Structure formats: C-alpha cells, structure tokens
C-alpha cells in the first residue's frame, strides 16, 4: 500500500480542508489546514513549544523552512509588521494553503509561499524559522539544512524545534561541526528549541 506522507510533493489523498485557530505571541490566527499536509487541523506540539519558548522575531527577511500550511511564517508576519516572509515546502498542497491563509490574513504583500526551486538563488535571510521535517531521514535533512543555512545573512540566525527522541542533541552537535554554532535555548515536552548562528 502506498502511504502518503506530508513531505510528498503531490499527496494523492483526497483534499479536505480543516479550519483551526492558532494563538501565537498574543495573536489569534484563523487558518485552514488540509489532508496530506503536516498537522492537519491543529498546531502540533513541537510548533507550540517553539512559539511558547521564543520571543517575537524582530522583523527583516524571514524564511519559514518546511512551512506546511504556513503557521510559523504567518505568525512571524503578523507579530512582526516589518517582517517579509518567504515560506517554502516541497508539498504543493501546503504551498497552496499557506498562500490562501496569507490572503485571508491580509498579508500577501509580506508573505509568499512557494516550492524551494522557485526562491531566487541569491535570496538571503535575516532569520530562518522551522519545525524541520526530521522524518525525511538524516541524509536528506542534513542536505536540506546545508542548502538553506548558508543563505543566512551575516549575524543571521535560525530558530528550530526538534524532538529530543528524533535526534535534537546530535543535530545540535552536527550543526556546530558544519560551522553553524548552535545552542539549545529551551527544552519542553520532549522538544528542544535550537538557535543556530551563521559561523
């Protein structure tokens, strides 16, 4: 049986939208998620930990890496009025939902979701926010991070949430070995919040 995963480029499962409200950094966001997209109908625990254990981003150019239906990038755009957010996902359905959510929130001038290959090669970012797709496997995850972390501007940072049982501590060490010094800023509900600096 061919099982669809949220990191499929084009999920074949029937598309059903599911509404939810995400309360983030003092803002209530009415969003729509969908079948075949990560965390349908909810804000997953890891992302909830990320929001609860971090401060609102200052603004600037922000990348939501592996955006799903867009909750992290949308929250950044709403909470930081000077932020310009680029959201990427390999899942075409996720990109569609993220852009629909931006339209309903009235922030399409500062939020754009797209497939990774559609992002200009010379685009750089002040911050990267992510609940990265750990389940794609270590090799693919490492390749993903090494493709995007070098696009951090000088003094830029990445903020990620990773399950402890999914290798957060070894990922932290590996990032440091790649020249991206990474510190653990919080730990809650079995998740680590990691902050990576451009080395």
Domains and CATH numbers, the chain: 17-197 (3.40.50.150)
Query: Which three-class secondary structure string do you get for the chain?
Result: CCCCCCCCCCCCCCCCEEEEEEEECCEEEEEEEECCCCCCCCCCHHHHHHHHCCCCCCCEEEEEECCCCCHHHHHHHHHCCCEEEEEECCCHHHHHHHHHHHHHHCCCCCEEEECHHHCCCCCCEEEEEECCCHHHCHHHHHHHHHHHHHHEEEEEEEEEEEEHHHCHHHHHHHHHHCCCCEEEEEEECCEEEEEEECC
With contact defined as beta carbons under 8 Å apart, do 141 and 148 qualify?
no
Q: How high is the mean pLDDT of the chain? A: 90
Q: How far is CA 179 from each of CA 77, 99, 176, rounded to the nearest angstrom?
A: 29, 33, 5
What pLDDT shows up at residue 38?
66
Share above pLDDT 90 across residues of the chain, in percent, rounded to a whole number? 77
Number of other CB atoms surrounding residue 119 within 10 Å: 17
Candidates 183, 193, 199; CA nearest to 160 is: 193
As a whole number of angstroms, the distance between CA 125 and CA 112 comes to: 14
Asked if residue 104 has pLDDT above 90, the reply is yes
pTM: 0.91
Q: Residue 6: pLDDT above 60? A: no
- The residues near 167 (Cβ < 8 Å, ≥ 6 apart) are 134, 138
Per-residue pLDDT tens over the stretch 154-165: 999 999 999 998
**What is the model's pLDDT at position 5?**
46
Average the pLDDT over 127-142 and give the result: 93
Name the residue with tokens 């830029």: 156
Give the residue among 130, 141, 147, 132 at the shortest CA–CA distance from 174: 141
Share of the chain above pLDDT 70, in %: 89
What pLDDT, on a 0 to 100 scale, did the predictor assign at position 12? 60
pLDDT classification of 109: cutoffs 50, 70, 90:
very high
């Amino acid at each position: 049986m061919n099982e669809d995963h949220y990191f499929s480029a084009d999920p074949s499962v029937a598309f059903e939208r599911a509404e939810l409200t995400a309360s983030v950094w003092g803002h209530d966001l009415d969003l729509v998620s969908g079948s075949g997209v990560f965390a349908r109908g909810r804000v997953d625990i890891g992302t909830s930990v990320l929001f609860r254990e971090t401060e609102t981003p200052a603004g600037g150019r922000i990348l939501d890496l592996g955006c799903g239906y867009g909750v992290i990038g949308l929250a950044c755009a709403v909470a930081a009025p000077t932020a310009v957010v680029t959201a990427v996902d390999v899942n075409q359905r996720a990109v569609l939902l993220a852009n629909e959510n931006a339209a309903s929130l009235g922030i399409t001038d500062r939020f754009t979701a797209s497939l990774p290959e559609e992002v200009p090669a010379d685009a750089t970012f002040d911050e990267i926010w992510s609940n990265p797709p750990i389940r794609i496997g270590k090799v693919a995850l490492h390749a993903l991070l090494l493709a995007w972390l070098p696009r951090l501007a000088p003094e830029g940072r990445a903020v990620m949430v990773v399950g402890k049982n999914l290798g957060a501590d070894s990922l932290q060490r590996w990032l440091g070995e790649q020249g991206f010094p990474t510190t653990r800023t919080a730990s809650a509900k079995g998740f680590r919040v990691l902050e990576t600096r451009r080395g």
